[in-house]
Structures are given as C-alpha cells and as structure tokens.
Amino acid sequence: MSHHEIKKPEDITIPPSSFFAKLPMLGGILAVAGLGATLGAMFGEHKARAAFSYLFAFEAVLALGMGALGWLLIDHSVRSGWAVVIRRFIETIAGSLPVFALLWIPIGLIGFHELYPWTHEADAIIMKKRWFLSTGFWYFRAVIYLAVWAGLGWFLYSTSIKQDSLGDKPAERERLVHLIRKVCAGGLFLYGLTLSFGAVDWMMSLSPHWYSTIYGVYFFAASMLAFFAFVTLVSMFAQSSGVLKTAITAEHFHDMGKFVFGYTIFWAYIAFSQFILIWYANLPEETEFYLMRLEGGWEYVSYALPIAHFFVPFLFLISRHVKRNKSVLAIGAVWTLVMHCVDIYWLVMPNYGSHGEGHTPHLEVSYLDFTALIGVFGVFLAVFGFLLNRNKVVAINDPRLPESLAHENY
C-alpha cells in the first residue's frame, strides 16, 4: 500500500451529459425493440423457436447478475479491500437481479411446454424423475431461486447505499459492515444451492434423460467469467464518462484482468472435467449431450469453443502488459463476453428440434436469437443505468476504501 495521503475521489456522480446518464433510455429502446420482436414471435407460429431464443438470452444475461452476486458474497466474506473502488458497479449489477423475476415470466408462462419435453412426455426414465420434474415443484423452486437472488442482490445494494449517508456515524457504519458480512456468510450457501439447481431446472432439464453433477459449477464458472469481463468494460466506460478518472488505476484493471484470465482457466477446467468423465464412462444416457452437439452443424461450434473460449483468451491475457493496458484489455473483455454468449447458446439451442426419437438438431441461427439477446440485455441495462444514476458511483464511506485507493500489485 502507498504511504502518501489518500484522498477520497470527488468525481463520484455521473455527469448528466455523459454516456452513463443515457443508459436507462438506451436500455429502454433496446428492450422495446428486442422484446417486442421476440415476444411477438412467441405468440405466433414460431413459438417454440422464439422460446428457445428467449431462454438463451435470459441465461446469458442472468449470468452477469449471478456472477456479480457471487463475487459480492465472497468479497464481503473474505474482507477483500482492492475492489471497493469498483464495488458500486458490482452492487448495482446485483441490485438489478429483481428484474429477472419479471424477465422469467415468458419462460414459465409462455414457452414452458415448448421448452421442456418432460411436461408432455412420460417414458420410463422421465417417470422415475417425476418426483423432481413435476410442474408444481418446478414452479415452486423457481420462485425460491428468484426470491433468494433478488433478496440478496437488493440487500447488498441498498445497504451499501445506506452506508453512503453515514459519514458522521462511524459506529453505525461499522454495524452495517458486520451485518453485511453475516448475511454474506449464510448467503453463500443459499447462492451455491440455488444457482446450481436453477441451472439444472432451466437448462439441464431441456434434455431430461441427461444429467451431469458438475452442471451447476459449469454455469457458475461461466457467470463469474462473464461478470468480470462486463465490470471491466463498465469501469472503462465510467472513466470515459468523467467519473473515478484517477481512483480506478492500472492496478485495479490489472486485477480485473487477472480474474478474467483466472476464470477463463476455471471455466475450461470445469468444461473439460465434465467432458472427460462422460467420455471415458461412455454411458448412453450421458453421451447423449455431446452426441447431439457433434452433428447437424453443431460440431463446428463444439470444436471451436475450446479454442476460441480458452486457448485464444488464455494466450492473449497471460501477459501482465495486456492486463495493465486498458485499450488492449477491453478487446479481451469484449471477446470473452461474445464467447460467453456462444457458450450459453451451445448449452441451450441444440435441444431445439432434438426432442423425440431419431430427431437430429441442426444449427440454424435465427434473427430471434439476436432480438431476444438485445431485448433482455436492454431491460437489464435500463435498470442498471437507472440505479447507477441515482447514487454515488463509489461506496464513499466504506472503511476499506482507502485501502482500495492505495492498492498496488507486487
């Protein structure tokens, strides 16, 4: 830590003319255009295709919020200091999680039967899983997941905002710090449980005969990776919009780059672990997942993912100089987010058209894939921008802020 006097940043509110101030309007436009086209198709003859496109978009964007929530729970539990200067961005992403309860409605109420074959098929395997894959229990679990994520995300966001107004009340600030830490300790358990079962219910059960005990960890890795790439870009845009211009330094971007790099490796490790276990066991009920992704054009995506989502970013981000150069690091973050979308697309879309014996999935990219992604991300962006513009962009009264401002990599 530097030994010179650390002054709190003064550029902590978003200028009205900045790009960040326009995020709610921009997000609203994207939401109306994207969701209008996608939901319109869900009520038409392309209902099934639109439902799969929407689920892909929902999971891809939800991953940003789940990654932010997971990081906050870990960050507070271990009393991390370096990220305090960018934590308000992370809290605002997590604070946007309640809107996903609304975004989930098209999945649960419109596309439910088109997405999940176990709702209208009942062979011997599905019947043995009926205690879990039953409509009432599925909806009940969904409510629990969404409530836990929204509750934790909003608590962490709102409590941090409350801390901003306690400048002359150090005892009250410290009380909030301890309260957050206690909630995060228990929240980590709820987070891990609900994230894993949410991934199983909403994505893995698209293919109800198949199962993987590592599927929840796979989605966790994807979420953390996408989140760190996103918050890296948000921090860069924040500085270009005139806030925290000197508070967020090359040291912080270096650490954000290290986490993008680290979770790239972690994602690859989990993905390979799942593949190799299924490959050497060679059980028909397990190999189904990869077999449907090795035909109909999906084989090209399957072969490209390890290269484009691991080897390319691994070699690109391994250099210290790349992680300390904002312009170059931005390229790596954008690439990571694009590959994240491809990864979630690869998880969801092969199930479209594959239901029923002898059916072969075919890779057919639709305009609905893009409108759904634009629409869901637009809603998220509007809420994120609205919350960010309401408050200071840094937790100004956090007791660990001086540590974060003086942070250095050694």
Chain segment 309-352, per-residue pLDDT in tens: 999 999 999 999 999 999 999 999 999 999 999 999 999 999 98
One-letter identity of residue 211: Y
Residues 146-190: tens digit of each pLDDT:
999 999 999 999 999 998 887 777 788 788 889 999 999 999 999
Rounded mean pLDDT, 284-302: 91
Mean per-residue pLDDT of the chain: 92
> What average pLDDT does this structure show over 347-364?
76
Residue 355's pLDDT band (boundaries 50, 70, 90)? low
Domain boundaries, the chain: 20-405
Q: What is the pLDDT of residue 45?
A: 82
Most confident of 44-48, 66-70, 165-169: 66-70
Shortest CA distance to 34 belongs to which of 16, 60, 65, 64? 60
| Average pLDDT rounded to a whole number, residues 362-380 | 95
Find the mean pLDDT for residues 289-313: 95
Least confident of 169-173, 176-180, 206-210, 395-399: 169-173
Query: Rounded CA gap, 219 and 238, in Å?
Result: 28
Whether 274 shows a pLDDT value over 50: the answer reads yes
